[in-house]
Structure 1
Amino acid sequence: MSASDGTRPEGTEPDEPSEPAEAAGAAAAPHELDGIVVPDDLSSLLDGPQETPSVALVVTQVAAPEPLAAACAIAHVEIDAVPTPVGAVAVLRDPAAADAGAAAISQLLRQTPVVLLTRREGQIAAARWVGGARDDELPAGLVLADAPPVLEDLLLGSEQASAVPGVVTSVGMSRWQAMRALARGRKR
């Protein structure tokens, strides 16, 4: 084979890259506009690390806040239990531990589902938990559609759990106090 017929001898490199190779390299590289790099694939912008929730609430079907706070004290979950017309709501003291708190509370309540509501960067997310495991995602708008106003106020941060009348905290509750509160809850 000769170089005159367009082929090159084996083991040699071309002097200049061909146009298709240059075009392929340009398509894979990010574009730069006035010092700002714009990647060709924008999916990496959406897959970044999730921000820690600023608020985390667990909506339960427990009728009163005292038994919920007592159960959480026994399980070492720091919450403020807020009464609502639909059941007590556990406001997690550490929103970063939202999943662990929801898992513990749903494990305590066995087969009764609970709903974890979190707020991150102004976005509200809802997930159902059953028996200590995340069940499925729920549309937050539907969850909040018929919710009592106090739930929305807590979630948006316009009201603090400690300011709600009837709130009971699990923080500082001894095991003995928790057992007594659970016994009182059963008598009702």
Structure 2
Amino acid sequence: MADDAPTPPSGDGRPAAAQVALVVTPVAGPGPLAATCAMAKVAVDVVPSTVGAIAVCRDLTGGAPREAAIAISRLLKGVPVVLLERSGGHVSASRWLDGEQGEDLAAGLVLSGAPEVLEDLLLGTTTPAEVDGAVSSVGLSRFRALRMLAASARANRR
């Protein structure tokens, strides 16, 4: 299923566009991550999981998944995130911290302890809309995003 082979090139020698791109974060809930992404204008659908919120990239063209990983890792200062991309039957994984790409990871090891929802999203057998508790950053106004973040901060203080 997953391997560490580089993304196969398209007909013109460039890497093929990802079919699915996920940014796995340790953020406890999808709401705060979606609100943060909305503030940064990163178009994602965020789903909850047992390992943290998973941002499913909406834009898969060109370097958009990398740009999403950069933005999300900058927003979550000091907290590593993992970008998983599936393209042409291959899965790649890379670690990101503070907007900088770290080491490439063995995708098989990343997926070995992954929750079922992550695998289902990566394989395309589930869409974010089918996951209970999913929240989209698309269409969230700045005001609504700020209210969601404030509510999350209040809940965490209790």
Tell me the TM-score normalised to structure 1 length.
Answer: 0.74
Percentage of pairs with the same residue: 53
Deviation at 1:49, TM superposition (A): 1.5
Q: What is the DSSP-based 3-state SS (H/G/I as helix, E as strand, rest coil) of the residue aligned with 2:92? A: strand
User: Hey, what's the Cα distance between the residues in 2 that align with 1:130 and 1:95?
Assistant: 21
| Paired position in structure 2 for 1:49 | 14
1:61 to 10, 26, 29: 26
Deviation at 1:185, TM superposition (A): 1.1
Deviation at 1:71, TM superposition (A): 0.2
Deviation at 1:48, TM superposition (A): 2.7
| Paired position in structure 2 for 1:9 | none
Deviations 1:96-135 (A, max 9, x none): 2100000000000011000000001010000000001111
Q: What is the DSSP-based 3-state SS (H/G/I as helix, E as strand, rest coil) of the residue aligned with 1:181? A: helix
> Partner amino acid for 1:79?
V
| Paired position in structure 2 for 1:129 | 96
Unaligned runs of 5+ in 2: 1-11
> Partner amino acid for 2:105?
L
Q: What is the DSSP-based 3-state SS (H/G/I as helix, E as strand, rest coil) of the residue aligned with 1:95? A: coil
What do you get for the CA RMSD once the two structures are aligned?
1.5
User: Hey, what's the Cα distance between the residues in 1 that align with 2:73 and 2:152?
Assistant: 18
Asked if 1:100 corresponds to 2:67, the answer is yes
| Paired position in structure 2 for 1:87 | 52
User: Hey, what's the Cα distance between the residues in 1 that align with 2:103 and 2:147?
Assistant: 34
> Partner amino acid for 2:154?
K
Unaligned runs of 5+ in 1: 1-46
Runs of 4+ aligned structure 1 residues displaced above 2 Å come to: none
User: Hey, what's the Cα distance between the residues in 1 that align with 2:60 and 2:75?
Assistant: 19
Q: Which has the larger radius of gyration?
A: 1
Asked if 1:161 corresponds to 2:128, the answer is yes
Asked if 1:179 corresponds to 2:129, the answer is no
| Paired position in structure 1 for 2:87 | 120
User: Hey, what's the Cα distance between the residues in 2 that align with 1:183 and 1:143?
Assistant: 32
Tell me the TM-score normalised to structure 2 length.
Answer: 0.88
| Paired position in structure 1 for 2:9 | none
Deviations 1:22-73 (A, max 9, x none): xxxxxxxxxxxxxxxxxxxxxxxxx932100010000000000000000000
> Partner amino acid for 1:163?
E
> Partner amino acid for 1:100?
E
> Partner amino acid for 1:58?
V
Deviation at 1:171, TM superposition (A): 0.4
Deviation at 1:136, TM superposition (A): 1.1
User: Hey, what's the Cα distance between the residues in 2 that align with 1:148 and 1:55?
Assistant: 17
